[in-house]
Structure 1
């Protein structure tokens, strides 16, 4: 009986050992890691035109940095099956000069992007802000105006703000026009004059004989300018002679 029990125990130990070995081999086979060269080949095939700058294996995943025309990226790659775990953009491509200019989108491309969410484009221009090229556009959306900034390289919306409406200026209140007792009279130097004061006096004396008052004025009467010359006649009457400043035509009136 003891021998039989011993053989049974020995058989169970052999079976258990076999199971453990098979299981360990299966785990070892399934956990086989792809090589670094294989990981690079997968990245180059999947992201054509990319340049890998760094690759590290950490916790069953390859962490790969690469540069593309649109920027710098980090890819996490499953080291066992080659599947992409994650793709993250780290920043813009810092390559300057002509290479960067080749990636700048033209105005038509930016307009196409804006019209995906806007009803109309009112204005658009390209500027440089914080050493980055951006397009600044005023767009119309649902009857409201917005200022939108678009990255000139990636075409992504940087900011979108409602445009401020210009403040309406209040109409200026007109001051009541003050009555000027001298209105209708023009300054002598402002009036068109072809005949001098002395010539006007001479014309007036040709019509009325007497002594001329020295206070001679120029006035506007009915849109015409006249010398007003007062003359005290020899028979003690007073006459006012209007002499046209351009034609010299004289008009005489006597005081009652």
Structure 2
């Protein structure tokens, strides 16, 4: 009887502990997690965290969409209204230029650069030849690839391709043959001059 009583007491104790744990999980911290940040709290949290000025704030369900201005740059922030966690932080543009429209899927960043392989394919469609060299350059806020292509007739072209859109910005030809012809003409003229001087 003593063993059976001990087992029942142990089982009853475990059951009570499990019930208390489940009750605490379900009801214990409801007040903390269910509290949605007010607009003022969300604005203060973002401004304190990023040291900028909130220019616009809008709440949708349990998320705040916030526009922040900092040092002439404009940023879009999505903030969890319950936890205060930043879900998305992306640059929209600068104060001097019109903001870039925010994408519907901010995680798929629209400013993703093309790969070198993609750029080579685009360049080959413009100039028939073998790719000799590819490099990336940035001027101002514009990033582009330069692709050097050598053709079968020993000519060289440099194709300038926008690093994000893939648009061909320019094709520049480097004609060595015309330079060589000028050099040959100059050397012929010099030899004629020498002959005339000796005569």
TM-score, normalised to structure 1, is 0.34
Higher relative contact order (CA 8 A, sep 6+): 2
Higher strand share: 1
TM-score, normalised to structure 2, is 0.42
